Amino acid sequence: MTKTITLPLPSPKLSPNARIHWAQRSKLVKAARTTARLIAQAQGVSSATPIHSYRLRFIWKDNRRHDRDNSASSAKSVLDGIADATGQDDADWLFYGVEFGEQDKRNPRIEVIVELIES
């Protein structure tokens, strides 16, 4: 069974290519992680939602070229927030890649599509 968790796009300042002060980055990481946890919980994610694997779908507001590796890296805080909501270690989840969906100027977002462990 799959579940899609829809979240706002991570800040561009969370990209590995961003050159910002470590303290500013730390605040952004903490905020993104907390936001992801709260949104995931609001979408029904809990310790009763054991995750087996996931893939990331980025819906950008424009058709600019985006790098899949940097996109995945910028989503680290988002995944940590989802892991906090489940009580699992995201290191145990299988990663099935990054895809880019159709652009959406009004609602850019990241969709984390998770495959749940069925009991």
State the DSSP string of 22-73. HHHHHHHHHHHHHHHHHHHHHTT-STT--EEEEEEEEE-SS-----HHHHHH
pLDDT 10s digits, 69-116: 999 999 999 999 999 999 999 999 999 999 999 999 999 999 999 999
Place of tokens 């906090």: 84
Residue spans of the domains in the chain: they are 2-116
pTM listed for this prediction: 0.93
Q: Which residues pair with 116 in a beta bridge?
A: 51
pLDDT band for position 119 (50/70/90)?
Answer: low
94-100 and 2-7 beta bridge pairing: unpaired
Which CATH number among 3.30.1330.70, 3.40.50.2300, 3.40.30.10, 3.90.1150.10 corresponds to the domain 2-116?
3.30.1330.70
Looking at residues 53-74, what average pLDDT do you find?
95
Place of tokens 């990481």: 29
